[in-house]
Structure 1
Amino acid sequence: MSDVDWTGREFDVDVGDVAHGGHCVARADGRVVFVRHALPGERVRVRVTEDRGGSFCRADAIAVSEASPDRVAPSCPAAGPGLCGGCDWQHAAPAAQRALKARVVAEQLERLAGVTWPVDVEALPDEALPDETPNDEPRRWRSRVRFVTGPDGRPGLRAHRSHDVIPLEDCPITLEGAAGAGLAHTARPGTEFEVAEDARGTVHRAEVRRGGRPKQLSGGIAVEHAAGRTWRLAAHGFWQVHPAAASMLASVVAEWAAAPVAGRVWDLYAGAGLFASVLAEQVGRDGSVVAIESGRRAVRDGQANLADLPQVEWRCGTVERIVSAVEAAADVVVLDPPRKGAGRGVVDAIASAAPARVVYVACDPAALARDVATLQGHGYRMTALRAFDAFPMTHHVECVALLEH
């Protein structure tokens, strides 16, 4: 324990392994130091940015005396200590970024679920990206971003763990149309607005309103292509951010679900029905897919986009409330919960339905590991795992796990 606030203090450390959250672990005077802008094996000088007492503090690497061979120059001038908090790993080569994420996924599974698994984080195919995107550098992949205006009304992104706004001239990871339209928009200080670029290249912009629906400023209905279908949906509803992610995830879900003809499937946290579409094709007209989604607009979009698939039964409400009341057993359950995971109540309800297979799509490895541990308590075993670099330059990673009884 420390009774002295280290905030602002500078010292040298040897950087240890990567940790979940976009930083590495170091130690100084008996305390853990979570260091951003560093890589494992480096020796760096750090400046403490946050110290709330206790056994750890947070710091930025402000100088590197012994660099990792994986270190590269960031492609964005706003990526660095005290600057934009949007990217965690711009200082690491693309292959090294994926290796770091793989170590995090493996560590979370082992620590929280007792599962030892060799993890490989795969790059998503670049044919869905603009022609100017270099094959060896994951730029211009982000189709949706939320900007905020600073004190002068200029838009930018917030610094890491801060309300400070870093003004930007460009955001190199964002699709060019979305970045240009978003950063050209000025507004009163503190205004948050979301910019989304769909598969047609149409840019949609909406002001974010706390506790209410976004105020549409331009665009409206987004057009996307995935899983062999064209989707028309609310431009600022949920959709995968990376242009290649939706089709890739749908293909893995379809392969691992292998739902039987005339079978019964649950699609939990269904969004606009991406996974429901491939599951419905598998079960056919004599089967059923129960799609549960809390967002009313997403359900309306799903009903409209999947109107040709009457075997999809939509239930609007929270998964936690509805799933325990869903009638009959399920042959397969697919779930894509929010970052916090499904939680014990939902997992217990899934197990009660006794599906042969559970396909779990996860955007947070810790949440995935916790829910895998709960499923293991019900007799399920993880038999397959794929991880995708759906958020290059950041610490986020998308996983799909198959669990079988």
Structure 2
Amino acid sequence: MTDQPAADPSTARPEEALPAGTVHTGGPAGTAELTVERPAHGGHFVARHEGRVVFVRHALPGERVRVRFTETDDDASFWRADVVEVLEASPHRVPHPWPLADALKAAAKGRSAVGGAEFGHIGLDEQRRLKAAIFEEQLSRLAKTERPVVAEPAPGEADDGLGWRTRAAFAVDSAGRLAMHLHRSHEVLPVREMPLAVAAVNDLRLWTLDLSGIERVDVAVPSGGGEPLVLLVPAAGTSPRRVAAVANSIDGASVGVLEPESGAVQRMTGRTWLQESVLGTDYRVTGAGFWQIHRGAPEALVSAVLDGLQPAAGERLADLYAGAGLFTVPLARAVGPEGAVLSVEGSPGTSRDARRNLHGQDQVAIVQGRVDAVLRRWSEPLDAVLLDPPRAGAGKKVVRQIVEARPRVVGYVSCDPASFSRDLGYFLAAGWSLDTLRVFDLYPHTHHMESFARLLPPPA
């Protein structure tokens, strides 16, 4: 299900004192006292009110909380709510490291929290235990398989789980100040430092600038350090002179203007791309191109992929949803000039990045297009397949095409346990088995996680 912006709940204050178990249901301002049961996929926790499931954010299992309902459609099978007061706290509740994302501080000011750190009230060890439990529940419910899961921290993770984001997207408010959206809302709130971001993002001090005329500001920093790249998305009708003035006010970064629909970047100052380095290999990524957000994610995932696929010289591989070539480059090196790699990516800009990063690697065929369409036309045998689909997953058609190719192994990189578990169910139904599974906590203080699975075909 795709999240859609909710009606803005931020203008109503929670009612001061309601008897336990009562609820006012006159709209999003309604409140109730609930007991939280268990975690659920998507950053929520399950509670119940009069037989109806309520998905609660900013809670913990076992807590007794007062919530403010944010979605209360009488015809809906569930409601949504935010915690506004903790009546009986979990021992795993800790002070939130980011005040603007702290639901309790936000509720005291009569608004919602900004999105992006919805697990910040939970100790890091408990965050990982909850993420593992959520992954296990998705495997059981959607793939009909039981598998114990451990969520691993990223290489070099900080003890406080902060300072890991190398990419950050900001809004701009009506006064021209750097801002972020409140959760599931079009409303924005001015921000300063972002604790989840690497220091180079905050060192730009974009909150001190007049960003009038700009609608969105994206910041990217190379995982290993280096000059940041700032991409500006102008509001409709903003003059080129005004955009140039904003670009010139940004010190310590390259600056470009991003066209969101096409992904094209116009250079204003510096360069429009970043150089990334992973395990001794350099990559070029254009400003709008996809790259893993956590500074340690590329190393963790490349290592998992190579360990899982064990590519050998002369083999024929496919890297599906290949992006800028993060995995294609080491796979091409492993199979050597006598092997072959098919790289498939849907985004034209990101596919161009892959061509640059694989320049001179004649054993690689880089195809820009839909994965299912490319596989339908591809007639060469494949020894191994790697797929790293977007959050929606690969889907039944692509899984069927991979199964029909009968590779010796499939590696599946996923950023969503629900879509992965659904796709895993398709593989299992075709007689395949889940050999190994690694889950990585690459997004501390959020509900998100990444995984790598090694899948094996049925015996011949």
Question: Alignment partner of 1:170: what SS?
Answer: coil
Q: 1:211 aligns with which of 225, 239, 261?
A: 261
* 1:19-38 equivalent positions in 2, closer than 5 A: 19-38=40-59
Residue of structure 1 equivalent to 2:9: none
Where does structure 2 lack aligned partners over 5 or more consecutive residues? Answer: 1-24, 104-111, 234-258
Residue of structure 1 equivalent to 2:167: 144
The answer to whether the 8 A contact 1:207-1:215 is kept is no
Q: CA deviation at 1:150?
A: 1.3
Q: CA deviation at 1:214?
A: 5.0
User: Could you give the per-residue CA deviations for residues 275-296 of structure 1, whole angstroms, max 9, x where no partner exists?
Assistant: 1122112222111010011222
Whole-angstrom CA distance in 1 between matches of 2:371 and 2:190: 39
The verdict on how the C-alpha distance between 1:18 and 1:189 changes in structure 2, with shifts beyond 3 A counting, is farther
- TM-align CA RMSD: 1.9
* 1:167-178 equivalent positions in 2, closer than 5 A: 167-178=190-201
Residue of structure 2 equivalent to 1:89: 119
The verdict on how the C-alpha distance between 1:25 and 1:68 changes in structure 2, with shifts beyond 3 A counting, is same
Q: 1:78 aligns with which of 100, 105, 114?
A: 100
* 1:114-129 equivalent positions in 2, closer than 5 A: 114-126=144-156
Deviates more, 1:218-227 or 1:207-216: 207-216
Whole-angstrom CA distance in 2 between matches of 1:186 and 1:343: 45
For the pair 1:239 / 2:262, whether they are aligned, the reply is no
The verdict on how the C-alpha distance between 1:183 and 1:404 changes in structure 2, with shifts beyond 3 A counting, is farther
Where does structure 1 lack aligned partners over 5 or more consecutive residues? Answer: 130-134
Deviates more, 1:290-299 or 1:329-338: 290-299
Query: Letter of the aligned partner of 2:147 in structure 1?
Result: W
Q: CA deviation at 1:83?
A: 1.7
Normalising by the residue count of structure 2, what TM-score does the alignment of the two structures yield? 0.83
User: Could you give the per-residue CA deviations for residues 350-396 of structure 1, whole angstroms, max 9, x where no partner exists?
Assistant: 11111111100000000100110111122211111001111111111
Q: 1:193 aligns with which of 214, 217, 225?
A: 217
Whole-angstrom CA distance in 2 between matches of 1:62 and 1:316: 48
Whole-angstrom CA distance in 2 between matches of 1:372 and 1:145: 31
Whole-angstrom CA distance in 2 between matches of 1:235 and 1:189: 21
Q: 1:303 aligns with which of 355, 361, 386?
A: 355
The verdict on how the C-alpha distance between 1:236 and 1:184 changes in structure 2, with shifts beyond 3 A counting, is farther
Give the aligned length: 397
Question: Alignment partner of 2:300: what SS?
Answer: helix
Whole-angstrom CA distance in 1 between matches of 2:220 and 2:288: 7
For the pair 1:10 / 2:40, whether they are aligned, the reply is no
Structure 1 stretches of 4+ with a deviation exceeding 6 A read none
Deviates more, 1:261-270 or 1:206-215: 206-215
Whole-angstrom CA distance in 1 between matches of 2:201 and 2:264: 17
Whole-angstrom CA distance in 2 between matches of 1:389 and 1:73: 20
Q: 2:324 aligns with which of 240, 253, 272?
A: 272
The answer to whether the 8 A contact 2:214-2:232 is kept is no
Q: CA deviation at 1:45?
A: 0.8
Whole-angstrom CA distance in 1 between matches of 2:165 and 2:210: 21
Q: 2:141 aligns with which of 99, 111, 121?
A: 111
Question: Alignment partner of 1:291: what SS?
Answer: strand
The verdict on how the C-alpha distance between 1:344 and 1:271 changes in structure 2, with shifts beyond 3 A counting, is same
Query: Letter of the aligned partner of 1:57 in structure 2?
Result: W
The answer to whether the 8 A contact 2:329-2:357 is kept is no
The verdict on how the C-alpha distance between 1:205 and 1:329 changes in structure 2, with shifts beyond 3 A counting, is same
Whole-angstrom CA distance in 2 between matches of 1:394 and 1:120: 17
Query: Letter of the aligned partner of 2:349 in structure 1?
Result: R
Residue of structure 1 equivalent to 2:275: 223
The answer to whether the 8 A contact 1:293-1:316 is kept is yes
Q: CA deviation at 1:310?
A: 2.0
Query: Letter of the aligned partner of 2:172 in structure 1?
Result: T
Whole-angstrom CA distance in 2 between matches of 1:167 and 1:316: 39
User: Could you give the per-residue CA deviations for residues 80-123 of structure 1, whole angstroms, max 9, x where no partner exists?
Assistant: 23121111100001111111111111111110001101010000
Between the aligned residues of both structures, percent identity stands at 39
Larger Rg: 2
Q: 2:90 aligns with which of 68, 82, 92?
A: 68
For the pair 1:255 / 2:276, whether they are aligned, the reply is no
Q: CA deviation at 1:190?
A: 7.0
Normalising by the residue count of structure 1, what TM-score does the alignment of the two structures yield? 0.94
